[in-house]
Chains A and B, each alone.
Chain A
Amino acid sequence: MAQTEIAPLESSTLPRQKTIWDAALRMIRRQPLGSAGLLVIVIMTFAAVFADYVVPYDPEIENFEYMLMPPGTMDETTGITFMLGTDSFGRDMFSRLVHGARTALLVGFTASFIGAFVGLVLGVGSAYFGGYIDLVFQRVMDVFMAFPLIIMALAIVAIFGTGTEKVIIAITIPFIPRCARVVRSSALALRELPYIDAARSIGYSHTRIVMRHMVPNVMAPFLIMLTAFVGQAILLEASLSYLGLGVQEPTAAWGLMLQGGAEEFAESAPWVPIWPGVAITLAVFGFNLFGDAVRDVLDPKLRAQN
Chain B
Amino acid sequence: MYSYIVKRVLLLFPTLLGAAIVVFLLLRLIPGDVCMLKFGGEGGYVDPEQIKMCQERLGISDSKIEQFVDYMIGFATLDLGVSMWTGQPVTEEIWIRFPLSLQIAIMATLTSVIIAIPLGVISAAKQNSMIDYLVRAFSIAGIAMPSFWLGILIILGLLIGTQAWSGVPWMPPVHYKSIFDDPAHNLSQLIWPALATGYRYSAVATRMTRSAMLEVLREDYVRTARAKGLIEQVIINKHALKNALLPVVTIIGIEFAFLMGGLVVTEQVFNLNGIGKLFVESVTQADYTLTQALVMLVVFIFVLVNFIVDLMYAWLDPRIRYS
- Which residues of A pack against B, CB within 8 Å? 139-140, 142-144, 146-151, 154-156, 158-159, 161, 231, 235, 238-239, 242-243, 245, 255, 258, 262-263, 266-267, 270, 273-274, 276-277, 280-285, 288-289, 292, 304-306
Q: Mark B240-257, 1 if CB is under 8 A from A, else 0.
A: 000000000000000000
A306 to B207, CA, bound (A): 8
Q: A242-B146, A281-B146, A305-B211 are in contact. List 16 more A-B contacts (CB 8 A).
A: A139-B18, A143-B18, A146-B15, A147-B299, A148-B258, A148-B262, A151-B264, A154-B264, A155-B26, A158-B283, A239-B265, A263-B152, A267-B156, A277-B152, A280-B145, A281-B145
Residues of chain B with a CB closer than 8 A to A284's CB: 143-146
Residues of chain A with a CB closer than 8 A to B144's CB: 231, 235, 280-285, 288
A243 to B279, CA, bound (A): 12
- Verify A239–B146 contact, CB threshold 8 A: yes
- Verify B156–A242 contact, CB threshold 8 A: no
The chain B residue with its CB closest to the CB of A276 is B149
Residues of chain B with a CB closer than 8 A to A304's CB: 214-215
- Verify A144–B261 contact, CB threshold 8 A: no
Residues of chain B with a CB closer than 8 A to A245's CB: 280, 284
The one of A144, A148, A158, A243 in contact with B298, judged by C-beta atoms closer than 8 angstroms, is A148
Report if A263-B298 is in contact (Cβ < 8 Å); known contacts: A155-B26, A159-B26: no
Residues of chain A with a CB closer than 8 A to B140's CB: 285, 288-289, 292
Cross-chain pairs A/B with CB under 8 angstroms, 30 sampled:
A143-B18, A144-B22, A146-B15, A147-B299, A148-B258, A148-B262, A150-B264, A151-B295, A154-B264, A154-B283, A155-B23, A155-B291, A231-B143, A235-B146, A239-B265, A242-B148, A242-B268, A243-B265, A258-B149, A266-B159, A270-B156, A277-B153, A280-B145, A281-B146, A282-B144, A284-B145, A284-B146, A285-B144, A288-B140, A288-B144
Nearest CB of B to A123, in Å? 18
- Verify A266–B268 contact, CB threshold 8 A: no
Residues of chain A with a CB closer than 8 A to B44's CB: none
Nearest CB of B to A270, in Å? 6
The one of B14, B30, B265 in contact with A159, judged by C-beta atoms closer than 8 angstroms, is B30
Nearest CB of A to B16, in Å? 8
Residues of chain A with a CB closer than 8 A to B153's CB: 273-274, 277
B169 at the interface (CB under 8 A from A): yes
- Verify B264–A243 contact, CB threshold 8 A: yes
Residues of chain A with a CB closer than 8 A to B23's CB: 155
Nearest CB of A to B116, in Å? 16
The one of B22, B148, B261 in contact with A258, judged by C-beta atoms closer than 8 angstroms, is B148
A7 to B298, CA, bound (A): 79
A274 to B150, CA, bound (A): 10
Residues of chain A with a CB closer than 8 A to B299's CB: 146-147
- Verify A285–B261 contact, CB threshold 8 A: no
The one of B30, B145, B303 in contact with A146, judged by C-beta atoms closer than 8 angstroms, is B303
Interface size class of B (residues with CB under 8 A): 35 or more
**DSSP class of A's interface residues: helix, strand, loop or mixed?**
helix
- Verify B146–A151 contact, CB threshold 8 A: no
Nearest CB of A to B207, in Å? 8
The one of A143, A156, A158, A280 in contact with B149, judged by C-beta atoms closer than 8 angstroms, is A280
- Verify A266–B18 contact, CB threshold 8 A: no
- Verify B265–A288 contact, CB threshold 8 A: no
Nearest CB of B to A126, in Å? 16
Residues of chain B with a CB closer than 8 A to A139's CB: 14-15, 18
A11 to B148, CA, bound (A): 60
The chain B residue with its CB closest to the CB of A283 is B144
Residues of chain B with a CB closer than 8 A to A231's CB: 143-144
A266 to B143, CA, bound (A): 23
Residues of chain B with a CB closer than 8 A to A273's CB: 149, 152-153, 156
Tell me the residues in window 172-221 of chain B with beta carbons closer than 8 Å to chain A beta carbons: 207, 211, 214-215
Nearest CB of A to B235, in Å? 19
A305 to B247, CA, bound (A): 13
B269 at the interface (CB under 8 A from A): yes
The chain A residue with its CB closest to the CB of B302 is A146
